[in-house]
A and B are shown apart, each in its own frame.
Chain A
Amino acid sequence: MYTFSSKLKTLSFILMAVGLLGIGYGFYSSPKDIHEVEILLAAESHGAHGEAEAHGETEAHGEAKSSDEAHMETPTHGGTEAKASAEHEEHLTHVLHELQNKPWAALYVACIFFLLIAMGVLAFYAIQQVAQAGWSPVLFRVMQGITAYLPWGSVLFFILLILCGLHFNHLFIWLDPEVVAHDKLIAQKSGYLNFPFWIVRAAIFLIGWNLYRYYSAKNCLAQDAASDDLYYKKNFKMSAGFLVFFIVTESIMSWDWIMSVDPHWFSTLFGWYVFASFFVSGITMIALVTVYLKSRGFLEYVNTSHIHDLAKFMFGISVFWTYLWFSQFMLIWYANIPEEITYFITRIQLYNLPFFGAVVMNFVFPLLILINTDFKRITWVIVMAGVVILAGHYIDFFNMIMPGTVGDKWFIGVPEIASVLFFLGLFIFTVFTALTKAPLLPKRNPFIEESKHFHY
């Protein structure tokens, strides 16, 4: 049995406390009305801030904003005084929404990132069950421990979605009836993008995933005490069913929770792209937790070959993510159709470093580090590559959410870091608490002997 080290527990509490303080500060320091925004903008333009690219983000708020740029610096030079000041007002409201979105978006990105890491682990776990993998059963309890974050993450995330629906923020502009009324494109999508349908879908997905997690872990424990393989077979069938459910819901989830942040834009391989991103993060998380538990002497039968296999998955799925990233980017770049390309123009102009930095962190770095067989067995290499991959995929989610919600007002500052710290603390606490609840080695799994002696 695993015992939760008190140091790690303290660390998780500190992370949560610091995170909460930072999140609170983020909400406290965001501007309350357009007067504050006016003062902020005045201070900014004195600092010779590049105003020219302030509106690459027009796509998020529709074409209504296209003339803002010209009017924001010299409102008095415009045609009629009244029109200019109205547009100035409109611009200030737009900036206000972006700035008010910042702490919400920071929270949202961190929340969905950790939720989806747990989902990535769950999908990997289900695949291992269905594939009857001979190497991984010694890691099943680690995977079940990590997915124990899922109920917590689901509840928090669902609350966030409801808050979006109750207009506490402007993360999803299609939730704003005012925007929908003036936006033909969004209005025509309102059969799908409407709050009741959207929230019911989210509930179904989260409940479905949590049910699988709950019963799969329960059956795994029941199999330990059983005298036949009935529970193993049950888990096998349930996992196969879950994978079907998962791939459908995952795809819809990516449209609902991520793509609809930019409701004017769509991409067909987006679901796969999001999947690859959190799948590799989940595998990396398995590797990191395994390496940690092994270093504390809790995983007797895990050897370097198991680590090697996880590292191969980290490597392979990293490349797979890049393949999808590039396929999405290159197809849109090549055809350069205006309604699609705005998505990448925003990101390249306003998010240049995070946009391309994510590719370096998620592709170039793992490619060069994890290609070597010997490196894939060295603990510190796995930890280093794992940390970079996780950070890279956080930035990947940052790139997906932020341009549509905060536009050019992005920054990785207190609200963003604090949100990550809070959810990291919660993640550590729930995961390692769950690991103390069950023995770390499944007893009567049909493949456990093979897995104990796995050698590559």
Chain B
Amino acid sequence: MNNKVIYAIYNDDDILMDAVKKTRAAHHHIEEVFTPFPVHGLDKAMGLAPSRLAICSFIYGCIGITFATLMMNFIMIQDWPQDIGGKPSFSFIQNMPAFVPIMFEMTVFFAAHLMVLTFYMRSKLWPFKQAENPDVRTTDDHFLMEISINNNEEELVSFFQNTGAVEVKVIEKN
């Protein structure tokens, strides 16, 4: 099976952005772009769908506040409603101001940590994970665009040489 890809390497993010736009205009499929730092607007140029992490986080926050409310309602009101310093423990609402700091922190805690874990899972990041750098220079000062080849190797190589790439490599992937 043919698993050839092109590595087009750039040394400037402006040139990379132009190349990405040209590639998209020419309808070549971009597999991946590797950059040493976030390039503003790259996701838009590549046509990537917006992230839904914020929505996840909102839901996690809702779970957090529900958890905190149920927990304190059970402990402080249902299970053992003691008189502690004259605080009214007859119903949740009567004693609610005392619970708000915990409800707030739980909301933030759930929203933050679960969102981070979601990010790690969706990005497939974990300790001891094999790094996926196609070229070590992409973590320092080079930008790399990976494009799949469909029996049009010569055409693609010349196309990417015209986009300002400092290096165009054809690689056999397995």
Interface residues in chain A, defined as those with a beta carbon under 8 Å from any beta carbon in chain B: 326, 329-330, 333-334, 336, 371, 373
Determine the distance from Cα of A333 to Cα of B98 in the docked complex, in whole angstroms.
9
A336 to B86, CA, bound (A): 10
Contact A333 B97 (CB under 8 A): yes
Whether the pair A326, B58 counts as a contact (CB closer than 8 A) is no
Min distance, Cβ B4 to any Cβ of chain A, angstroms: 39
User: Within the assembled complex, what's the spacing in Å between the Cα atoms of A334 and B87?
Assistant: 8
Bound-state Cα–Cα, A329 to B98, Å: 11
Chain B residues lying within 8 Å of A334, measured Cβ to Cβ, are 97-98
Task: List 9 extra interface pairs beyond A333-B97, A334-B98, CB under 8 A.
Answer: A326-B97, A326-B100, A329-B97, A330-B97, A330-B98, A330-B100, A334-B97, A371-B58, A373-B54
Residue of B nearest to A331 (CB): B97
Chain A residues closer than 8 Å to B58, beta-carbon distance:
371
The smallest beta-carbon distance between A369 and chain B, in angstroms, is: 13
Q: Which 5 A-B pairs have the closest CB atoms?
A: A330-B97, A333-B97, A334-B98, A326-B100, A330-B100
A326 to B96 CA separation, bound complex (whole angstroms): 12
A128 to chain B, nearest CB (A): 24
Within 8 A of A (CB), among B106-132: none
Contacts of B97 in A (CB 8 A): 326, 329-330, 333-334
- Mostly helix, strand, loop or mixed at chain B's interface? helix
A371: B residues at CB distance < 8 A: 58
The contact sample of 10 A-B pairs, CB cut-off 8 A, is: A326-B97, A326-B100, A329-B97, A330-B97, A330-B98, A330-B100, A333-B97, A334-B98, A336-B86, A373-B54
Looking at chain A's contact residues, is the secondary structure mostly helix, strand, loop, or mixed?
A: helix
**Which A residues are CB-close (under 8 A) to B100?**
326, 330
Enumerate chain B residues within 8 angstroms of A326, measured Cβ to Cβ.
97, 100
Q: How many residues on chain B are close to A (CB under 8 Å)?
A: 6
Complex Cα distance, B98 from A31, in Å, reads 44
Residue of A nearest to B61 (CB): A371
Determine how close the nearest CB of chain B comes to the CB of A93; give it in whole angstroms: 36
Complex CA–CA separation, A336 to B97 (angstroms): 12
Interface string of B69-103 (1 = CB under 8 A from A): 00000000000000000100000000001101000
Report A323 CB to chain B, min CB distance, Å. 9
For the complex, what is the distance from the CA of A334 to the CA of B54, rounded to whole Å?
35
Q: How far is the CA of A329 from the CA of B100 in the complex (A)?
A: 12
Name the distance in Å between A322's Cβ and chain B's nearest Cβ: 11
Q: Which B residues touch A373, using CB under 8 A?
A: 54
Q: Least Cβ distance of B54 to chain A in Å? A: 8
Which residues of chain B are near A333, meaning CB under 8 Å?
97
**Residue of B with least CB distance to A329:** B97
| Chain B residues closer than 8 Å to A330, beta-carbon distance | 97-98, 100
* Bound CA span A92–B58, Å: 54
Q: How many angstroms between the C-alpha atoms of A143 and B105 in the bound complex?
A: 37
Query: Which residue, B58, B86, B97, B100, has most C-beta atoms of chain A within 10 A?
Result: B97
A332 CB, min distance to chain B CBs, angstroms: 10
**Whole-angstrom distance between the Cβ of A271 and the nearest chain B Cβ:** 22
Q: Shortest Cβ distance from A273 into chain B, in angstroms?
A: 16
Task: Output the nearest chain B residue to A326 by Cβ-Cβ distance.
Answer: B100
Complex Cα distance A334/B58, Å?
A: 30
> How far apart sit A334 and B95, CA to CA, in the bound complex (Å)?
9
How far in angstroms is the closest Cβ of chain A from B95? 10
Mask, B144-170, CB within 8 Å of A = 1, is 000000000000000000000000000
Measured CB to CB, the closest approach of chain B to A78, in angstroms, equals 34
CA distance A107 to B68 in the complex (A): 44
B86: chain A residues at CB < 8 Å are 336
What CA separation (Å) do A333 and B54 show in the bound complex?
A: 35
> In whole angstroms, what is the CA distance A371 to B57 when docked?
12
CB under 8 Å from chain A, chain B span 42-63: 54, 58
**In the complex, A333→B86 CA distance in Å?**
12
- From residue B88, how far is it (CB to closest CB) to chain A in Å? 10
Residues of A contacting B98 in the complex (Cβ-Cβ under 8 angstroms): 330, 334
For B98, give the chain A residue with the smallest CB separation. Answer: A334
Could you tell me the distance between the alpha carbons of A371 and B58 in the complex, rounded to whole angstroms? 9
A292 to B54, CA, bound (A): 30
- In the bound complex, what is the Cα–Cα distance between A326 and B101 (angstroms)? 10
A residues near B54, Cβ cutoff 8 Å: 373
Q: Which residues of B contact A336 (CB under 8 A)?
A: 86
B100 to nearest A CB, angstroms? 7
Alpha-carbon gap, A318 to B26, bound state (A): 48
Give complex CA distance A329, B86 in Å. 17
- What is the CB-to-nearest-CB distance from B44 to chain A, in angstroms, rounded to a whole number? 12
B105 smallest CB distance to A (angstroms): 13
Give 1 or 0 for each of B8-24: 1 = CB within 8 Å of chain A CB.
00000000000000000
Whose C-beta in chain B lies nearest to the C-beta of A368? Answer: B58
Q: How far is the CB of B84 from chain A (nearest CB, A)?
A: 12
Shortest Cβ distance from residue A311 to the other chain B in the assembled complex, whole angstroms: 16
- Nearest-CB residue, chain B, relative to A332: B97
* Measured CA separation A329–B101 after assembly (Å): 13
B41's nearest neighbour on chain A, judged by CB, is A455
Q: Tell me how far the C-beta of B69 lies from the nearest C-beta in chain A, rounded to whole angstroms.
A: 15
